[in-house]
Structures are given as structure tokens and as C-alpha cells.
Structure 1
């Protein structure tokens, strides 16, 4: 009898042991799933690669057959999970940022839209600058105004989205954003107003009211900037897909200029760089330059253009830390970049 009791307890203990390991296995699986799949209010930024501009840009429908390449570099951003945070802590040139630091006050969808706007604007400015430098005939045609923000007090909040283009107000069209601003400022506070706009290629219309703005003037409560399109006998086509942001402006300008001019500035070299491009040809600073230096070095670039100022200092520091002999070149204007390529081999 006693032996039977012992046998039963032994069986129960054996089951409990098996159950314990089975339960532990489930817990570990759940924890791993949480670590890998559950998003946190952070982003991880890391080198995103370097890309031959010839793969995303054509001039006059001709294949660019010259040796070497111009490359734009990217920063990759992923929504962090616990596993991504561990990776970032253990990996150089990888940073953790809060969602607010990354997207600002924008929703994730609006953040993507606004970066697409910045990409399109940088492309237009690059085309205009390159054609001007190459002595080509070029103009900028006004299309309307881009919506960059919508005030919480605006009656168009939730109607107009970032990167929509306002083409008219009450049936009136304008030749600049300032003309639109002046028009709505003269309307009475609380007056009904109808806005004509395009959103994702579709023409739309919305009704709202004139409100008092923080500057004391009347308006519709949107932040805006001119939406222009380049007009020229020469044709430049981009296919950058979902890549956003303004930081490829300098490199786009160099590539277009080189194809339009009779020069061969590349001379067989792999040339990378970053920086916004202004309407006056100035090169502006950008974010994540240490990661872009790493991307360029991995691609085999021999030259990396960095905007003058803090960007240049950070680029030199990153190159030294990574251990590349890639030449870091400081530029304030696109003309300085052209002169450097022209005068070096």
C-alpha cells in the first residue's frame, strides 16, 4: 500500500516537473514575442545605405553610361521594440530617439507625407539649380501652396492634410502664397470661405471660416509654402519611391549638372555626400550625418561632401571613428562642390 502511495506521488512530481518546463517554455516564447513584436515609443536610427543616383534619375531619357557614380546616402529609421533597443545599445553609429523627437507633432502618416514633400521640393530645386549652372533655359511655375501645418483652431483641421496643395480660395487663384495670405487677411472674421485644393492627385473643395491668427491677422489657419514645378526643354525624371526628406538635394544637383554639361566631373570616381540645396545654390545642414558617412564608406566612395559647420565636424569625427580614408570635403554651395571635382582627380 505504501509503495502505491509513493508511486502516485512520484508520478505527480514527474508531471509537475514536466508542466514547469512546459510553462517556462511558454513564458519564454511570450517574452521573446513581446521583445521582437511590441512597438515602443522610440525609434532606432542607423546607416541606411548609399544609392547610385543613376538608378533613380534620368536626364532627357538617356542612360548615364559614364564611369563612376554620384550617390545619395540615407538614414534608416525603424519603430523600436525591446529587441531593437538592445541592438542599438550594442551597435556603433546607431541611435535611439523618442517618437516625439523623430516625428515632432506629426502623426506617423503625416510625417511620411511631409518628408515626401521635402523630397519633391529638393528635386525641383536641384533641377532648377543644375540647369541654371549649366546655362539651360528654365523657369519655376507656381502651382499653388503646400499645406505644411494646420492650426488646432482652424475649421479646416482634419480636412486639409499636410502636403495637400491649395489651388484657390472662393474661386480666386493666386501667383504666390503671399497673394493667398493677403486675400484671406482681407476677409471678415467668421466669414464663410471655400478652399479649392488637390490631395493625392484628386481635386477637392472644402468649406470653413475665417479665424483670428496668432499674429492678429485674419486667415484660415494653415502654414504654407509655394508649390512650384520646373519648366524646361530638358527633361529630368525621378523615381525615388518612398524615400523622403530634403538631404539629397546637393547630390541630385551635381548629377543633373554633370549630365547636362559637357564636363565629366566624376572622372570614374564614386562620389557621395549630403546636404539640402537652396534656391541660391547654398548647401544646408542635415541630420544623421555620422550614419551617412558610414553608408558612403561601405559603398566604396572616395569622396564625401558634407555641409560646412557642425555637419562637417561631425562627418570628420565619424570617418575617423569608422576608420575610413574617404576624403571628407566641406562645402557651403554647390559651386564649391563643382569646383572641387573639376580641380581634383
Structure 2
């Protein structure tokens, strides 16, 4: 006698249809998740990236602290008793930028994080490569370091001088002026800052001879240089020392930087950071280390802002992401450039971190002093 089988290796027709539906329906999901990490289709040159970038919270660094055992802001050339003890935090903040994303990756950043998605051209202009933008950001960062030092020295009333950073090959100064020379005068008139020398050269004509007072290797000497004509390739180049005019403008051919004139040297030891927005926090760290008292009052202060050599604080991008990064790091006070205040207090700001409004280095120092003393300090909003 045969009994009907209680199991079968062949599913009923309806079951087969349901299984096929599940498999076919899952294929797009599998394909999407497979493509998540792909920016090109394997075996082809088809580019899957989208012309957008995602901006979000970046790392934050205490300018009063160390990185890899080295002070972020390192000051030498002063006696130990001139370096003031500091506590608390003066954190600079950054924005993390993600590019080279596929569409699924971009959607995940947009829907699953607080990142801001912006057209790629806002980050990498169409006439520039990623490498060129990185070089520009590195140059801007170096410039912000120089400006931070000069602004701090001005605030502290310490002397400044102009040092030759580079001499262009074949320029009028080539062979006469040397790297690390300190230029002290032009035709007998004392000069202090690079702008003083630029103005003096700008008043001359190609073919004029100028006498430069120079401090070199511990000695004061003079050197005569016959000025040339500004090359067209350098007109408008912000790194040249005398580029405000057009054809026929006198040309010396040196790149100069201001530095402390009393032997103080300031080194900034952060790597792989670009852009000019750390200037304010760098300058505050220098001021805090070279002046009595504590700017932070022992608290966790963060901030951002460009800085000019005269101490003017300028606006930056990504302010909301920087505030969020500071908040998550533990900051209770954030220094905001005045022109960024409206954006800083919009969106998700709920007053859980104090936003001090600043437009200059002097103003930032005063705002922190008032805040720490319990006095009214300028705030955003």
C-alpha cells in the first residue's frame, strides 16, 4: 500500500511564483547596495559620481594644546617666565568636505546626516582641479598663520620686522638680496612691514636705483638694487610684493613676510588643514601665551574666523557645522565672526552654546574678558 508523501521537492505553482517575485523584487536593492561604494562601473570608464559635495562637521583642535606631543602653537625665542600658563580650550574648528560621491552615497549623506549638499563647483570651481584647490587652501592656511602672528604682535605691542621669504630667479634683487634678510629701510627711510616696502617701491620707476638697509647674519649692511619692470605674469599676483600697478610698475622681485622683531618665533604645527579660517583662534592662542591671565577663564571656548594682519576678523563658510562640531566636543562658548551671526543663529540653534560676536582680535579679547567676568558681552541674536 502506498501512502501519499508528506513532503515534496517541487513547490506548488503559487509558491514558485512568490519566490520568483521576491528574488526579482530584491534585485534593484542588491544592485543599489552593490553600487554604493562604486564611482565607476567595473570594466568601463563610465563615471557614477555626481556633481555635488557634502559638507559636515570636521575635526576641532585646541590651539592651546598639543598634537602628537608638539604644541599646536609653539612659541620660542622668549624667556620661560614670559610664557604664561594657560588652561581651558581655544579650539579652532573645521568643515569636512566629501566629494567623488555616487548618487546613493550623496543621498545617504543628505537624508541620513546633518551634512549640507552643495554643487561641486562651490568647492572645486570648474576651472580648477582638486589638486589646485588643495594648493590654494594650503597657501591660504599659511597666510592665515602669518597674519595671526602679526595681529597678535600688534595687539601685544611687540615690535615687527620684514623678512625676505623668497627671491625670484632673475629678478632685480636676485644675487643682491638674500632669503632671510631683514629689510630695515628703503633709501634711508625706516620700514617695518611688507606694505611699507611695497609702498616705497611703488613710488619708484623701472630703472631707478634704491638703497636697501638690510640686517643679515647679525650685521647691518646696505645693498643697492636697480629696479626692473613688473612682469605681466605677476600683475595682480597677491604673493608678489609690488603688484598694484600695471605696465611700467617698478619691480624688486622679492616675497616678504612680517615677523616679530624681538627674536620671538611662532610655529603652527597642524598638518593637512587648509583655508584661512583658523586665523582668529591662532592669534588668540599667541596672545594668551604671551600675556598674563587666561583668555578662556578656564572654560572650553571654540571659534572660527579669518584674520588680517591689522586684526580684522572676517567671515567664513560652514558656520553651522563648525558650531555643531564645537558643541559635540564640549565647548560652551563659540566665537562667531560678526558677518556670520545671522546664519549661526538660524536653523537648529537653540541657545545651548553661547555665541559671542566678534569683528576684530581686540574685540574677541574684550568679549571673552567681559563674558568671564559675568558682564554683558556682544552676542549673536
TM-score, normalised relative to structure 1: 0.70
2:312 to 273, 277, 282: 282
2:220 is the counterpart of 1:220: no
Secondary structure class of the residue paired with 1:113: helix
CA distance in 2, matches of 1:26, 1:90: 23
Partner of 1:34: 35
Partner of 2:333: 303
1:237 to 242, 246, 267: 267
- How far off its partner does 1:332 sit? 1.1
2:343 to 304, 314, 323: 314
Q: Deviations over 1:24-56 (max 9, x none)?
A: 888755432322231322111011132211232
Partner of 1:325: 352
Partner of 1:119: 141
Partner of 2:183: none
- How far off its partner does 1:84 sit? 2.9
Secondary structure class of the residue paired with 2:138: helix
Partner of 2:123: 102
2:84 touches 2:292 (CA, 8 Å); kept in 1? no
CA distance in 1, matches of 2:307, 2:121: 26
Partner of 1:344: 371
1:256 to 286, 293, 306: 286
CA distance in 1, matches of 2:115, 2:59: 13
- How far off its partner does 1:23 sit? 8.7
Secondary structure class of the residue paired with 1:103: coil
Q: 1:228 to 1:291 in 2, by over 3 A?
A: farther
Q: Deviations over 1:67-99 (max 9, x none)?
A: 201001111001132233222322464211222
CA distance in 2, matches of 1:103, 1:228: 29
1:74 to 77, 80, 94: 94
2:154 touches 2:310 (CA, 8 Å); kept in 1? no
CA distance in 2, matches of 1:83, 1:186: 59
CA distance in 2, matches of 1:292, 1:87: 21
Matching of residues 6-25 of structure 1 within 5 Å = none
CA distance in 2, matches of 1:322, 1:92: 17
Partner of 1:59: 75
- How far off its partner does 1:305 sit? 1.0
| Structure showing the higher helix proportion among its residues | 1
Secondary structure class of the residue paired with 1:328: strand
2:54 is the counterpart of 1:44: yes
Partner of 1:90: 111
The unaligned stretches of length 5 or more in structure 1 are: 1-6, 145-166, 188-216
Secondary structure class of the residue paired with 1:97: strand
CA distance in 1, matches of 2:343, 2:112: 18
Matching of residues 106-185 of structure 1 within 5 Å = 106-144=128-166, 167-168=167-168, 170-173=170-173
CA distance in 1, matches of 2:269, 2:24: 52
- How far off its partner does 1:136 sit? 2.1
2:84 touches 2:288 (CA, 8 Å); kept in 1? no
CA distance in 1, matches of 2:28, 2:87: 56
1:50 touches 1:296 (CA, 8 Å); kept in 2? yes
- How far off its partner does 1:186 sit? 7.3
- Equivalent residues, number: 282
Q: Deviations over 1:113-139 (max 9, x none)?
A: 000000000001001111221122222
RMSD over equivalenced CA pairs, Å: 3.7
1:271 touches 1:301 (CA, 8 Å); kept in 2? yes
1:128 touches 1:139 (CA, 8 Å); kept in 2? no
